[in-house]
């Protein structure tokens, strides 16, 4: 029996912001049914990698394929077909502030299906129930707390029953209880809806709780990809620094630094 | 040497930035026109409800302030022409002078400047805050083209409403001028209006309408392109809003000058 084709294939991906290299030949694959956590410290390139996976940035070199389609070279119609099969929960929720919570959740259905309004309303309320926001459909996003916004964004992300779900820093800015609730919700979604889930985070507790496999990024390089046990047992110094919350040692040559500053201001 | 190269470098970067901004605005124009016309074929139809909503915001909601301003400008022109032409014994030319200057120039210009301040800034602020809060990214990953969703309705609404507002402003300004000038010319305001209508030819109105269509393009494209380019959170949104208004007004005046030169040779 052959293994199922990967849903995400990232090959030799490079990204630059101006003269700064952010991703340095990143390679990995994500298979159906997995919860993959992409973990790394601040500035490791996680968010840039996510933007490339979502087709929001074009790779300088290398490629990202979702469902076998390279979003950088796909036609508009092919891109649309891929996007109907993915859901994304952004760090700040990214709910449209001009719409009610219910309209936000219903938006993908209204845009991409020919369902009647009654069915759309029922489906969006069902998804709000799934994330424990039943009855909140008439509120505006500004009337919700941070945790509720993330859950509403999650309801919008899953309303089309996508096969692939992305989370950007799901626990960021949440208290530990709400953060744990969100982790449970992610696990429930995978089990109930059989989704493949990619979570970008720097929260260690959350990462080890939900992950099947973890890809560790550091300064634009993949340090390793493996199970949670593999990552814990890794003998890589940077991974252990990250796991044990040890700050990176920074050596500053004061004379050289001063000379550089003077050079820049002249 | 560096004292020479540094300003040149700055000038070069500013020029490259301006050219890149124009290129980006042109791309937004082409993409929104393309999506408006054939978007339905690729699952990206034009949102007619959004167009109507934008038409209300840009056009109907602006009626009171356009009315007030056009009326004031009309009276002001009446005062100036009655006084200036009276010095040469040419008071009989007041009606034609007001009619031509309002329809060819002031109606379109005043309306465009007002709409740039009201709606151009609102567009930049709305799209800017959506960019900062990743709402634009969210639209893209949901499979909704942000240009189709945010730019096309505003562009079409502006192209319809600005010329209509201009015609409205022309009528109100001429009426304002009539109220002031008619007694000085010893005629009734309705006689003044009838005389205006007989003196104007369609080309005069057409000149103002053609200008207002170009101004509509400028206001929308500058508003949306500065909105999409916002960086730096709430402060960036504020900067973009101011920039959109200043750039729009500058470009409107420059375009008006170019238009006036070619249309009145």
Residue B221 domain-assigned? yes
Per the prediction, chain A carries an average pLDDT of 89
Residue B13 domain-assigned? no
Of residues A149, A170, A146, A162, the one with CA closest to residue A104: A149
pLDDT digits (tens, 9 = 90+) for B79-103: 999 999 988 888 889 999 999 999 9
Q: Do A96 and B144 touch (CB under 8 A)?
A: no
Q: Which residues contact B115 (CB under 8 A, 6 or more apart)?
A: B58, B62, B158, B162, B165, B215, B216, B219
Residues of A in contact with B138 (CB under 8 A): 88, 90, 94-96
Q: Model confidence at A49, in pLDDT bands (50, 70, 90)?
A: very high
Q: Model confidence at A265, in pLDDT bands (50, 70, 90)?
A: low
Of B42, B44, B138, the CB nearest to A94: B138
Nearest CA in chain B to A91: B134
Task: Considering only residues A175 and A141, tell me which one the structure prediction assigns the higher pLDDT.
Answer: A141
Cβ(B240)–Cβ(B125) below 8 Å: yes
- CATH label, A8-85+163-265, candidates 2.60.110.10, 1.10.10.10, 3.40.50.300, 3.40.50.620: 3.40.50.300
pLDDT digits (tens, 9 = 90+) for A201-237: 988 888 999 999 999 999 899 999 999 999 998 888 8
In what helix (H) or strand (E) does residue A255 lie, and over which residues does it extend?
helix A254-265
Within an 8 Å CB–CB cutoff, is residue B133 touching chain A?
A: yes
SS (H, E, C) B21-59: HHHHHHHHHHHHHHHHHHHHHHCCCCCHHHHHHHHHHHC
Within an 8 Å CB–CB cutoff, is residue A79 touching chain B?
A: yes
pLDDT at A1: 54
Residue B4 domain-assigned? no
Residue B2 domain-assigned? no
Q: Which of A102-116, A196-210, A244-258, B110-124 has the lowest mean pLDDT?
A: A244-258
Of residues B172, B166, B209, the one with CA closest to residue B189: B172
Q: Model confidence at B43, in pLDDT bands (50, 70, 90)?
A: confident
pLDDT at B167: 97
Per the prediction, chain B carries an average pLDDT of 92
Within an 8 Å CB–CB cutoff, is residue B5 touching chain A?
A: no
SS (H, E, C) B182-197: HHHHCCCHHHHHHHHH
Q: How far is B62 from chain A (nearest CA, A)?
A: 21
Within an 8 Å CB–CB cutoff, is residue A80 touching chain B?
A: yes
Q: Which residues pair with A217 in a beta bridge?
A: A222
Of residues B51, B54, B172, the one with CA closest to residue B111: B172
pLDDT at B224: 96
Question: Which domain, by its residues, includes B71?
Answer: 48-263
Task: Considering only residues B227 and A255, tell me which one the structure prediction assigns the higher pLDDT.
Answer: B227
* pTM, rounded to two decimals: 0.85
CATH 3.40.50.300 range(s) for chain A read: 8-85+163-265
Residue B137 domain-assigned? yes
Strands A20-30, A69-70: pairing kind: unpaired
The rounded distance, in Å, linking the Cα atoms of A105 and B51 is 22
CB pairs under 8 A between A and B: 57
Query: Which bin fits B232, alpha (ψ -120 to 50), beta or left (φ > 0)?
Result: left
pLDDT digits (tens, 9 = 90+) for A103-136: 999 999 999 899 999 999 999 999 999 888 999 9
Q: Do B134 and A76 touch (CB under 8 A)?
A: no
The rounded distance, in Å, linking the Cα atoms of A217 and A199 is 13
Q: What is the mean pLDDT of residues B226-243?
A: 91
Residues of B in contact with A155 (CB under 8 A): none
Q: Which residues contact A185 (CB under 8 A, 6 or more apart)?
A: A131, A151, A154
Within an 8 Å CB–CB cutoff, is residue B138 touching chain A?
A: yes
The rounded distance, in Å, linking the Cα atoms of B149 and B46 is 8
Number of domains in chain B: 1
Q: How far is A190 from chain B (nearest CA, A)?
A: 20
pLDDT at A255: 80
């Amino acid at each position: 029996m052959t293994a199922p084709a990967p849903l995400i294939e990232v090959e030799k991906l490079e990204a630059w912001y101006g003269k700064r290299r952010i991703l340095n030949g990143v390679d990995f694959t994500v298979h159906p049914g997995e919860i993959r956590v992409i973990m790394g410290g601040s500035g490791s390139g996680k968010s840039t990698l996510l933007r490339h996976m979502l087709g929001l940035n074009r790779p300088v070199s290398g490629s990202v394929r979702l469902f076998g389609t390279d979003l950088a070279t796909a036609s508009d119609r092919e891109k649309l077909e891929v996007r109907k099969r993915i859901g994304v929960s952004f760090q700040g929720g990214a709910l449209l502030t001009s719409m009610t919570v219910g309209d936000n959740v219903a938006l993908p259905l209204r845009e991409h299906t020919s369902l009647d309004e009654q069915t759309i309303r029922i489906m969006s309320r069902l998804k709000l129930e799934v994330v424990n926001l039943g009855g909140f459909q008439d509120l505006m996003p500004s009337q919700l707390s941070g945790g509720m916004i993330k859950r509403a964004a999650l309801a919008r992300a899953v309303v089309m029953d996508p096969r692939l779900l992305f989370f950007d820093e799901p626990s960021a800015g949440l208290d530990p209880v709400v953060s744990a609730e969100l982790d449970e919700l992610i696990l429930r979604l995978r089990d109930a809806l059989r989704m493949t889930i990619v979570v970008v985070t720097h929260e260690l507790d959350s990462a080890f709780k939900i992950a099947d496999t973890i890809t560790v990024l550091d300064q634009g390089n993949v340090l390793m990809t493996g199970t949670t046990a593999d990552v814990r047992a890794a003998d890589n110094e940077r991974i252990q620094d990250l796991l044990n919350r040890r700050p990176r040692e920074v050596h500053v040559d004061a004379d050289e630094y001063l000379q550089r500053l003077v050079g820049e201001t002249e | 040497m560096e004292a020479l190269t540094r300003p040149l470098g700055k000038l070069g970067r500013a020029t490259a930035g301006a050219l890149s901004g124009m290129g980006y605005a042109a791309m937004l124009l082409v993409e929104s026109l393309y999506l408006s016309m054939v978007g339905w074929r690729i699952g990206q139809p034009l949102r007619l409800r959004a167009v109507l909503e934008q038409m209300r915001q840009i056009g109907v909601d602006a009626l009171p302030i356009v009315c007030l301003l056009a009326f004031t400008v009309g009276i002001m022109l009446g005062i100036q022409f009655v006084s200036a032409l009276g010095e040469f014994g040419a008071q009989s030319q007041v009606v034609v002078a007001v009619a031509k200057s309002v329809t060819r120039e002031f109606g379109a210009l005043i309306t465009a400047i007002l709409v740039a301040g009201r709606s151009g800034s609102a567009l930049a602020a709305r799209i800017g805050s959506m960019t900062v809060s990743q709402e634009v990214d969210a639209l893209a990953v949901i499979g909704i083209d942000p240009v189709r969703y945010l730019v096309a309705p505003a562009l079409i609404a502006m192209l319809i409403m600005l010329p209509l507002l201009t015609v409205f402003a022309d009528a109100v300004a001429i009426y304002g001028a009539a109220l002031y000038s008619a007694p000085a010319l010893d005629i009734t305001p309705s006689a003044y209006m009838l005389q205006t209508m007989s003196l104007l030819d369609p080309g005069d109105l057409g000149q103002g309408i053609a200008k207002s269509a170009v101004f509509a393009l400028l206001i929308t494209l500058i508003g949306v392109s500065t909105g999409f380019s916002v960086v730096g959170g709430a402060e960036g949104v504020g900067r973009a809003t101011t920039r959109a208004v200043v750039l729009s007004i500058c470009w409107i005046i420059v375009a008006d000058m170019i238009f006036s030169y070619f249309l009145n040779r």
